[in-house]
């Protein structure tokens, strides 16, 4: 028996992360009861995005054009390249810092158990980009997880082999945080990665 349109809608909503059966039902009922116009706008936006948003050919971020706005900008510093795990990480850095270099979006991290290796992360493309000689520093901004750290080490090897200086984002105690409330893993990492206090 074919599923009803309502059942199909509920099942379709379950593709979203963190959305189970109950959440999908609530969303479907809300759209049908109170937000039909919003639901139609959502359907149009979703269809257009699925058909037209692809990956930037240079950095692998999401883009509607061959090159994203950042890669196409002449005001960015091409000597600095920041490798991030996801478009969300790229956006966070862009919004929170004054970074004016370029990016390379891995779209994941090394995870052999999940079948994610260097090929899935576009690391051959990254290696070719570093070989071109424009990049002087590769800033590795992967997350401080086991997979993120393994990815960072792999990226550093790729960079060094091509004469590019690799650097890593500092991880540790958050600004304004108190040591007694910081989790043990973060505190251990911060302690092990301590740096000399310079004269100012």
Give yes or no for a contact between 70 and 103, defined as CB atoms under 8 angstroms apart.
yes
Q: Which domains does the chain have, with CATH numbers?
A: 73-168 (3.40.1360.10)
Q: Tell me the whole-structure pTM to 2 decimals.
A: 0.82
- The two structure tokens encoding residue 133: 């000689």
Strand, helix or coil at 50?
Answer: helix
pLDDT in tens, the chain (200 residues): 788 999 999 999 999 999 999 999 999 999 999 999 999 999 999 999 999 999 999 999 999 999 999 999 999 999 999 999 999 999 999 998 889 999 999 999 999 888 899 999 999 999 999 999 899 999 999 988 889 989 999 999 999 999 999 998 877 767 777 767 777 777 777 777 766 666 54
């Amino acid at each position: 028996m074919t599923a009803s349109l309502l059942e199909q809608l509920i099942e379709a909503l379950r593709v979203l992360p963190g959305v189970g059966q109950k959440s999908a039902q609530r969303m479907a009922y809300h759209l049908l009861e109170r937000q039909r116009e919003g639901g139609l706008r959502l359907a149009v936006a979703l269809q257009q995005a699925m058909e037209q948003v692809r990956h930037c050919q240079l950095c692998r971020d999401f883009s509607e054009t061959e090159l994203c706005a950042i890669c196409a900008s002449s005001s960015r510093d091409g000597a600095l390249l920041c490798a991030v795990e996801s478009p969300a990480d790229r956006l966070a850095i862009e919004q929170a810092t004054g970074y004016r270099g370029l990016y390379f979006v891995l779209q994941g991290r090394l995870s052999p158990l999940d079948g994610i290796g260097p090929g899935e992360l576009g690391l051959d493309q990254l290696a070719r980009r570093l070989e071109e000689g424009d990049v002087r520093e590769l800033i590795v901004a992967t997350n401080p997880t086991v997979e993120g750290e393994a990815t960072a080490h792999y990226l550093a090897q790729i960079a060094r082999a091509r004469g590019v200086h690799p650097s890593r984002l500092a991880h540790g105690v958050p600004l304004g945080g108190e040591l007694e409330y910081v989790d043990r893993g973060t505190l251990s990492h911060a302690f092990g990665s301590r740096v000399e206090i310079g004269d100012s």
